[in-house]
Chains A and B, each alone.
Chain A
Amino acid sequence: MAETLTPKSLAIKVCFCLAVLLVVMFSCSLVGTQKISLEKVLAGPGEKAGQNIDYEIFVGVRLPRVLLAALVGAALACCGVVLQAILRNPLADPYILGISSGAGLGAVTAVLSGITWSFWGGSPIAAFAFVGALITVWLVWFIGRLAGKSQVTTLLLAGVVVNAFFSAVIMFLTSIAKTDQVFSTIFWLMGNITEKDPLVLWVSAGCILTGIFGLFSICRNLNVLTLGEEEAKGLGVNTEKTKIVAFSFAAFITAIAVSLSGLVGFVGLIVPHGVRLVFGPDHRQLLPISTIIGSTFLVAADTIARIVVAPAQLPVGVITAIAGGPFFLLLLAKYTRKVSWLK
């Protein structure tokens, strides 16, 4: 691969991955506990509501859920790439700056307080998780700033400490909670995709896609930033601006993803690595392809979670970890010579 990336080769790869995503989304929409036939779905809604059940399941139940999984997967994989680059740490994931525990604490608070109001069709759990995530990220960023302008290590440490502290509070709260409350909390903490109100879905989709395109705009700078901040400045990159764009967009869309689906693990860590192993570390390519592959991966994982113990459903986080781990190890074994930090 002595050749540098060209727009043409990138476009071909992105189109191919998008095609794969669409095929997976479509076929996953057809699979489920209730069997529906492709012919009936294609026949359209019919004249009266309720006439074509298969179509209504497809459009009203399956498609929104598949779209939701696709969105969450895209957001998590995209943020994983960005945070690994900014923190120059291959172990970073979208949750590293405290988002997971902050959102978790918000969700647990919502469950325990028994609040039932809804907002824009979103559940109180989602709203509390979203707010909790953003507050925690701000807190971590604030602590990181105290130590000086460009201290990536301090930021990481602050994230780890805040995560540990909030996790302890979550454990404390769940240990004093009632059994049924504990059950729904644990499901949320494992990462769980469920059907959502269409309005919530569209608003989140708009926000997440905007955020992802915002992050696409700093791909070039991310490449340079992985060499270190002094190097990046020497190459004409405004590092402070890039970092603020990266952190704020990543925090925002991760918070949305988390409030939609709980803490789906693994996608944000493993998809970026897998794509980097196969396609190399150039972020102009890594970021869009990881986003699409993350999307595809979570759609497939959620479909398995829906059908494997049907009619019951598994939390999708269980599937991403069980399926993702071994698959990643296979990739690692095949491409290890390309990864410098493993040597």
Chain B
Amino acid sequence: MSDIIEVENLSFGYYTETILKDLSFKVKPGTFLAIAGPNGAGKTTLLNLICGLLRPEKGSIKIDGNTAESYSVRELAKKLAIVRQEFVPVFAFTVTEVVSMARTPYLGTFGFETLTDKKHVADALEMTDTAQFASRTLASLSGGERQRAFIARAIAQNTPILLLDEPTSFLDLKHQVGIYDLLKRMQREYGKTIVAVTHDINLTIQYADVTLLLGADDSYQHGKATDIFSSQQIEKTFGVKTFQGEVGKQRFFLPLGKFAKANQKINGNP
């Protein structure tokens, strides 16, 4: 199968500062790609380039065979849906109303949701387990519930690609795992391509098929999460020592700061 996202020799910078340089990678349909890297490495910038908010300086990004620029805003919204960090809208929209907005690219100027649109919305609410509070306003929900509502909206948009920008940053363990489970299900059962920017190396290793690790110095690594992540690589990219352990075949990492108790034991410091 041909690739659904193709990034070729992509370069981008703000003013004189280069953020991304000569970046090339491909994403096959139905894969789960995690984009990791330290702050300022260009993870969100890359996401904004893919979804057409920013234009590449050099190189190209192809979505489903055509460059991102060649799509109209509306057509692109039928190819990819974006979930950013959750927020409270200014006006008191209910969950159903926000999820229904996903159907905007499919409706005309004076459009009202048709039965098909309503079906998509109802299904998305069901899948994300948000139907129970569908009639509540977003302000009245917890952060985790709100993030699920935004994911429901992305699902109702019915796009082959889901982009997520640190979807679990402010969530507790239960909701972090819940959201990754949901994304994995979307990938397995509905064949969606998932591209998620994340800070969580351990969740990445467990859920992603492919990882793109962006370094702060324009370098990058692309490949299987298990091939990319090692204590050495993490120390090189993030500048943090980690404890590497294994449970079965699953590798995991614990960050060790200067004053971490485990670190003191290892280094023999008082």
Contacts and interface: CB of A to CB of B under 8 A. Distances in A.
Given A4-B113, A281-B92, A340 B138 contact: yes
B112 interface: yes
Interface stretch (B12-20, B102-110, B249-257, B261-269): B102-110
Contacts of A338: 92, 137
Majority secondary structure of chain A interface residues (helix, strand, loop or mixed): loop
A226 B92 contact: no
Contacts of B81: 234
B88 A340 contact: yes
A234 B97 contact: no
Contacts of B109: 217-218, 220
Contacts of B168: none
Q: Which of A5, A6, A235, A341 has the most CB of B within 10 A?
A: A235
A133 B145 CA distance: 45
A221 B110 CA distance: 10
Interface of B: 51-53, 72-78, 81-82, 84, 87-94, 96-98, 100-102, 104-105, 107, 109-113, 118, 121, 134-135, 137-140, 157
B215 to A, nearest CB: 26
B73 A1 contact: no
Interface residues of A, number: 40
Given A2-B94, A6-B112, A235-B77, A340 B101 contact: no
Q: Which of B97, B138, B140 has the most CB of A within 10 A?
A: B97
A326 interface: no
Contact of A4 (B72, B74, B89, B100): B100
Contact of B134 (A2, A219, A339): A2
B105 A236 contact: yes
A2 B122 CA distance: 11
Nearest to A276: B91
B23 to A, nearest CB: 22
Interface of A: 1-7, 85, 88-90, 216-221, 223-224, 226-228, 230-231, 233-238, 276, 280-282, 284, 338-341, 343
A327 to B, nearest CB: 20
A1 B97 CA distance: 10
A4 B97 contact: yes
Contacts of A228: 87
A237 B135 contact: no
Given A220-B104, A282-B97, A227 B112 contact: no
A220 B113 CA distance: 11
Given A1-B135, A224-B101, A281-B97, 12 more contacts: A2-B134, A4-B100, A7-B112, A85-B91, A218-B109, A226-B89, A233-B52, A233-B77, A235-B77, A237-B74, A340-B88, A340-B137
A304 B95 CA distance: 42
Contacts of A276: 91-92
A228 B101 CA distance: 13
29 contacts: A1-B94, A2-B135, A4-B100, A85-B91, A89-B90, A219-B110, A220-B104, A224-B101, A224-B104, A226-B89, A226-B90, A226-B91, A230-B53, A233-B51, A233-B77, A234-B51, A234-B81, A235-B77, A236-B75, A236-B104, A236-B105, A237-B73, A238-B73, A238-B74, A282-B93, A339-B92, A340-B88, A341-B90, A341-B92
Contacts of A88: 90
A8 B157 CA distance: 25
Contacts of B75: 236
